[in-house]
Amino acid sequence: MKRVKEENVPQIRLRGDHVVGLSVDLPIDLITDILLKLPSKSLAKFIVLSKHWFSEIRSKRFLDLYMKQSLTRPCILFTFHHDSIRFFHLASQSCQDDASFYTCKSSFPLSLDRRIYQKTYDITPPVHGLICVQDLDKVLVSNPVTGQFLVLPKVRARRRGISRYFGYDPVKDEYKVLCMTVLKLPGTVVSGDHQVFTLGREAQKKPNWRKIKCNLPHCPATNGLCSDGVVYYGAWSNSDEEVSLIVGFNVGSEEFTLVKLPDGVEIDRSDSGLVNYKRKVALVSHSHLGTFDMWVLEDVVKQEWSMISVVVPSWKNLIIRREKFSCRGVVSTGEFIFQPFSLDGPLCVIIYDREEDSARRVEIEVEGLGVNLGAVSLFLYHVESYISLKEDYSFN
């Protein structure tokens, strides 16, 4: 193979507010505008072009601009297993054309050590571009766009069975993982061992789990959903009746608050979850039947809820064999998105337009991976982030 001499390779570098080494000098602001229009995979190639490009793309200025842009065009994040590797696929959430709406525009495999990341995974809804994953007693944070991940120090607790939640504080620009254990006794349940792990550019280089106080005895029961710096999750009180409630964990102040559910609304032990309804927190149960009620938290301060009754037409005709779909939320267009628990064929979703009272099954094109996909999960309102966990948040 013929080697290219280094002196023949054009050198591209930054000089002040201009990029030099091209046929013409370009202002850095123009270069930034161009970079912001590129897909994530292209940015990955520019990063390795030179130290100057690496420095510019990894700068807080560029990352903040990239995030600001991403917030205006949220994506649908698909994740599934294929050949013992977990893949993440992104699809546009706002395009009206069906073909491009449900065709994954990018694919990023997250190749983790199998001893760390078995199929016993549990993935949080994405928060400000990142996700948190629990595998048995191990917890890790990952950027599905870059494929990077950080395995957090082991959670040390007196009891087994860890529940964890993931949130973001927009004031301090910090991510936090909340972990707790639960002790069940006759007539009572008590959460304990409440601990927090902080990830942020200004956080200490070798952070660890910190114990915090919780003056609200409860038993966590559902997934968590972060909204405006607060992580909400369904829970039961420690009374004999196990009264259903919503707990809010303020990521910044690390305080717990109670959000009461409407009278008569209960959290099912196995089939209740919080979903995103046009960026609002909503509770659904038994959505796999195609007929269910959705409770939307309209006002957190006043603790006001509204109810939406959903009846998906021709639901049985949309299901093949014994497939099971569940509602994952509502996008800004008002469409309800249902994800499959298991698949007998290609990756697909069910879309329900409540205004038109019409539903359809749509296949999702996953290039090069075929149909042998398992452990499918779908998340709405994911925003692409190009922060580097290795550079900005590494503590090893």
The answer to whether residue 388 is domain-embedded is yes
The answer to whether residue 259 is domain-embedded is yes
Q: Looking at the 3D structure of the chain, how many domains does it have?
A: 2
- Residue-level pLDDT, tens digit, the chain, 396 residues: 444 444 443 444 444 444 444 444 667 778 788 888 877 767 777 777 777 777 788 888 888 888 888 888 888 888 877 666 777 777 776 544 443 344 333 344 444 333 334 444 678 899 999 999 887 667 889 888 877 888 898 888 777 678 899 999 999 999 999 998 877 666 666 777 899 999 987 665 667 899 999 988 888 889 999 999 999 999 988 765 578 999 999 999 999 999 999 999 999 877 789 999 998 999 999 898 899 999 999 999 999 999 999 999 999 999 887 788 999 999 988 999 999 876 666 778 899 999 999 999 988 776 655 566 667 788 999 998 888 787 767 655
* C-alpha closest to that of 313 among 355, 345, 343: 355
The Cα angle at residue 88 between residues 84 and 92, in degrees rounded to 5 = 155
Query: Looking at the structure, do residues 278 and 178 belong to the same domain, yes or no?
Result: yes
Query: Looking at the structure, do residues 212 and 322 belong to the same domain, yes or no?
Result: yes
Query: Looking at the structure, do residues 52 and 76 belong to the same domain, yes or no?
Result: no
Query: Looking at the structure, do residues 46 and 186 belong to the same domain, yes or no?
Result: no
Which domain, by its residues, includes 42?
13-57
Query: Looking at the structure, do residues 206 and 223 belong to the same domain, yes or no?
Result: yes
Query: Looking at the structure, do residues 21 and 115 belong to the same domain, yes or no?
Result: no
Query: Looking at the structure, do residues 178 and 243 belong to the same domain, yes or no?
Result: yes
Query: Looking at the structure, do residues 23 and 129 belong to the same domain, yes or no?
Result: no
The tokens 């200004």 sit on which residue? 202
Query: Looking at the structure, do residues 382 and 302 belong to the same domain, yes or no?
Result: yes
Which long-range contacts (C-beta less than 8 Å, at least 24 apart) are formed by 238-246?
238/188, 238/189, 238/190, 239/188, 240/187, 240/188, 242/189, 245/218, 246/274, 246/281, 246/283, 246/297
- The CATH number of residue 98's host domain is 2.120.10
* C-alpha closest to that of 43 among 366, 384, 323: 384
pTM as predicted? 0.84
d(CA 26, CA 265): 60
